Structure 1
Amino acid sequence: MNLELTQDQRLLQEGIEQLVSRHAAIPPGSTDIWLPGSDLERDLLDAGYLDVGRTEGMGAVESALVVEAVARAPYSIEIGATALVVPHVVPDMLLTRPVALLSLPLLGASRFVDARGSALLDCGDVVRVVDLRTCQVEPVDTPFAYPFGKVAQIDVEKARPVDASADVMRQWWRVALAVEIGAVARVALDLTVEYVKQRRQFGRAIGSYQAIQHRLSECAVLVESTQWLARRAAWSGDPADAALAAAYAQQAAARVHYDAHQFHGAMGITNECHLHLWTYRLKALQGELGGPSAQARAAADQLWAA
């Protein structure tokens, strides 16, 4: 695997990061659990970044770079499904956004289930497209920094089947999870590193203590490894790589979340601190699609199939 981005990929990365940087500011005085990013979403759509996965000459790695940049923003918009899952499951269909990723049986609330959007439904063997505008959808308040919703009932037989298998959907769902976790965890870590440089205790910055440096260094290794495992899974298109990346990412999410809040102390649990805009996302991503144990089982099935 080449760990250097191509010139075209670097230009894409610079462009998307420049666009997202214009939306880096958090509204003054905001204490919201999550922030909607309608302005960011509009700019992404106008600039064509939401269609990178369908653009000739570009592929999953380029889509992953877009997801990374958008996921680092303080705003919670649906990007992983649109950029990484939809182009591989329904490449010739335009789905209304946001696109939710669902599995049968439906259990509780899920990210980005919205009465204005659509969903890809994993039915076990096949994938079906669900127009959520025709369903009874209920918004659900959660402590996680994403919009959540719940579908009361789906008439599966009326949902449109697609050619791609459910295995393909789950593979790219795992890639999207790993990419998003890597990006969100990086911001949580960066905020924590900056905080321990400023927070003083016993006459010195707490970041000067070796024990804290060691733990944050371990988190840095986890974040960097997550990013490259996710990029590898996007590059290779290998289902085993996708499962391994997601398993590693979801385990790393737990550690980064814990240490970020540990070193922020009581300040970290206040909404005024805004750390939660990233760490609470990590908690949601950590358990999605069955959590790390489910991804590890999927990896084992791929690597050591009977």
Structure 2
Amino acid sequence: MGEFDFIRQYLQRQQSGAEVVLGIGDDAAIVRPLPGLDWCISTDMLLAGRHFFADEAAADIAHKVLAVNLSDMAAMGAQPRWALLSAALPQLNPVWLSSFCDSLFSLAAAHGVTLIGGDTTRGDYVFNITIGGTVPQGQGLRRSGAQVGDDIWLSGRVGLAAAALQQRLGRLRLPETVFAECNQALLRPTPQVALGQALLGVASAALDVSDGVAQDLQHILRASGVGADVDTTQLPTLAALRHGLPESTLLPLLLAGGDDYELLFTAAPAQRAAVAAAGIASGTALSRIGTITEQRQVLHCLDADGHPIKLDQQGYDHFG
């Protein structure tokens, strides 16, 4: 099988998309913006050995490759619309390709995403997706809107993916059933797209947690010119992790582990009922974990006694 056979057979699937005038097959795609909408555009690159293990199942790799990009759309409150996929593969194995593409297109279809192009080459499992979505004009969620006194909220649970990774690296030992649940979170994150859209007009600032709660929250603090106090006892996680790990092991997983792809957002206390309604509407558990303060770019992560916790590392840094 050659490169162009691969594209025609596996990638050139027909999908509907109101904005897509021309998809895969020409030198470029044609996308026609719809009136009254802003475009949100993002890109993420995933490499074997850095973001996933090269021997993972093809279906799991495909899911994560797209899910982390969908999560960026969720953080903006956007409806995902189209994606470009660039892939470096060591070989064109039909069995592997079928599993990868079936998983990719299944997740894409679940979120109304059309694959409109990209690039392929020979290499060691590198995937890059550029994703585009739409949000009502002027309403996109940003990092820069947090106000002093705002509540800090977190969706879902954090620390599971980091715990699974630490076990796979031989640095942690979890009970088999606990590891299985954590490993599922690592392999197949759930992008909170519906929640992001439900938070439009409710959240004052938002982002997705990819590199760790502490580090990603700092992005909001920097953009908004504020500080934050976080109650670490309110960080949502798997009960077996909270009760089965010492605090010295648990807190770095929850605050700095990353790979969670949950939404971290702020909202005024007057919006608590609206936040709860957004959680119910999207089927997402939400936890209030702290408060925005006036201490510019100062983050206090507090223990059960209200004492600040010192973290050796606040999150993942590709060049750290």
Bin for the TM-score computed over the shorter chain: under 0.3
User: Between Structure 1 and Structure 2, whose CA radius of gyration is higher?
Assistant: 2
Greater strand percent: which structure? 2
* TM-score calculated relative to the size of structure 2: 0.25
Greater helix percent: which structure? 1
* TM-score calculated relative to the size of structure 1: 0.26
